[in-house]
C-alpha cells in the first residue's frame, strides 16, 4: 500500500526575490523621496588602541565609493586592490563621533599612509569597506540572500 503525504497549503509562500511584504510602496513622490532621505548610512563606532580614541566609521556615500573604486582599479590587471585607496576610504568614511564631522581630508594623505600605524589605518579602512559592502566576501553573501 502506497502512502501519500498531504501538503500544508496554509503556510505562507516564501517572498519572491527575498523581499517580504513589509517593503513599502509610495503613491506620492514626495513621500517616497522623504522616506529615502530619512535612511542613514551604516555606521560603527570603532576603538583604535593605537590612537587611544574612538572613530565613527560610516559606509561610503556614492561620491566617495566611486572615487575609491576608480583609485583602487588597475586597468592593466583588471583587478581592484582597495589597499591602494585606503587613504580615500578613511577620508570619506571616518567621522568624529562627538561632532559628526569628517576627521580627515586630502591634505592628510601622506600622514595617514606614511606616518601612522598601518594597523590602525587598516582596521578603519576594512571596517568602512565592510559597512559599504565592497569586499568580495560581502558581495558573495549578498548574492546568497
Query: Can you give the CATH number for the domain in which 127 is found?
Result: 3.30.2220.20
- 44/42 Cα distance (integer angstroms): 7
Q: Residue 39: its pLDDT value, please?
A: 81
Is 47 contained in some domain? yes
Is 22 contained in some domain? no
Is 98 contained in some domain? yes
- Quote the crossing angle between the two packed helices 62-72 and 86-93, to the nearest 10°: 170
Question: Which percentage of the chain shows pLDDT scores above 70?
Answer: 80
- 8/38 Cα distance (integer angstroms): 41
Is 54 contained in some domain? yes
Residue 56 and residue 43 in contact, taking contact as beta carbons nearer than 8 Å: yes
Distances (CA, A) of 143 to 22, 82, 91, 127, 137: 21, 21, 29, 20, 10
51-106 pLDDT per residue, tens: 999 999 999 999 999 999 999 999 999 999 999 999 999 999 999 999 999 999 99
Q: Is 58 left (phi over 0), alpha (psi -120 to 50) or beta?
A: beta
Q: Which residues constitute the domain of residue 76?
A: 42-144
The pLDDT of residue 8 is above 90: no
- In the chain, the number of structural domains is 1
Is 33 contained in some domain? no
Amino acid at each position: 500500500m502506497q502512502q501519500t503525504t498531504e501538503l500544508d497549503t496554509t503556510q505562507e509562500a516564501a517572498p519572491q526575490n527575498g523581499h517580504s511584504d513589509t517593503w513599502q510602496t509610495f503613491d506620492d513622490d514626495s513621500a517616497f523621496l522623504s522616506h529615502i532621505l530619512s535612511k542613514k548610512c551604516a555606521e560603527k563606532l570603532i576603538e583604535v588602541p593605537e590612537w587611544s580614541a574612538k572613530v565613527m566609521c560610516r559606509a561610503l556615500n556614492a561620491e566617495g565609493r566611486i572615487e575609491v573604486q576608480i583609485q583602487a582599479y588597475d586597468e592593466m590587471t583588471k583587478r581592484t586592490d582597495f589597499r591602494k585607496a585606503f587613504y580615500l576610504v578613511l577620508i570619506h568614511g571616518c567621522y568624529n563621533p562627538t561632532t559628526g564631522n569628517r576627521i580627515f581630508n586630502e591634505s592628510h594623505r601622506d600622514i595617514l599612509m606614511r606616518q601612522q600605524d598601518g594597523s590602525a589605518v587598516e582596521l578603519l579602512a576594512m571596517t568602512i569597506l565592510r559597512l559599504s559592502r565592497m569586499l568580495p566576501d560581502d558581495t558573495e553573501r549578498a548574492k546568497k540572500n
